Structure 1
Amino acid sequence: MKLLVYFCDTEGISINYTEPREPTQNEYVERFNKTFREDVLDAYIFSNIEEASDIAEDFRKDYNEYHPHKSLGRKSLNEVLREFTKGLAPL
């Protein structure tokens, strides 16, 4: 969260928080929740919490490292982070 706040401060971006129980104000998180539900929760029958945790971790790694995001110019989250930490414009 600190990196986000720092980035916003340096770029002159104000952070607007969503109102509770207003999913349309939080579309990116709602989109992620839908993707996680479809790709993990609906796709597997878990035998135990460890199995669920392992599959969720595999999903997290894939989502952050390889999954292209339309809102990020078809780049993964880690690609944008690497560009930002090198001082490059993310998009």
Structure 2
Amino acid sequence: FISKKLAKWCEKKQIEQKFIQPGKPMQNGFNERLNRTYREDVLNAYFFDSLEQLRILSDKWLDTYNSKHPHRSMKGLTPNQKRLLLTEDAMKKEELIANNL
């Protein structure tokens, strides 16, 4: 499944899309693991009366996942902590380049 809207958005932002082979989820392990965690923690854990309830729980889950869930692949950091480090590193590199260091 490839969304035409997503494809247009990526093209506009000059983002190259890459796709896995059909029936080869092991080529996309990180996303498959995230999908499994979300399914276990949210979709399979609750009954929903509305999409709004699902959205609210999903937002709470995502906030917790990004701010309180350390990842081995990030050396025990949460995604928010890792993003902050990467942002700081990028800013330092830009400063060095701007100052010709």
The CA RMSD over aligned residues, in Å, is: 1.8
Paired with 1:27 and 1:61, the residues of 2 have a C-alpha distance of 22
TM-score for the superposition, normalised by structure 2: 0.67
The structure showing larger relative contact order (alpha-carbon pairs under 8 Å, at least 6 residues apart) is: 1
Q: How big is each residue's C-alpha offset from its partner over 1:31-54, in whole Å with a ceiling of 9 and x where there is no partner?
A: 001100000001100111111100
| Runs of 5+ consecutive residues of structure 1 not aligned to the other structure | 2-15
Structure 1 segments of 4 or more deviating over 3 A? none
- TM-score of the pair, normalised by structure 1: 0.73
Cα distance, 1:17 vs. partner?
5.2
1:38: which partner in 2? 40
**Given the alignment of the two structures, is residue 61 of structure 1 paired with residue 63 of structure 2, yes or no?**
yes
Q: Which structure features the higher share of helix residues?
A: 2
Aligned pairs for 1:1-91 (under 5 A) are 18-87=20-89
Larger Rg: 2
Mark the runs of 5 or more structure 2 residues left unpaired by the alignment. 1-9, 11-17, 91-101
Q: What percent of counterpart residues are identical? A: 34
Q: Relative to structure 1, is the Cα distance of residues 49 and 17 closer, same or farther in structure 2, using a 3 angstrom cutoff?
A: closer
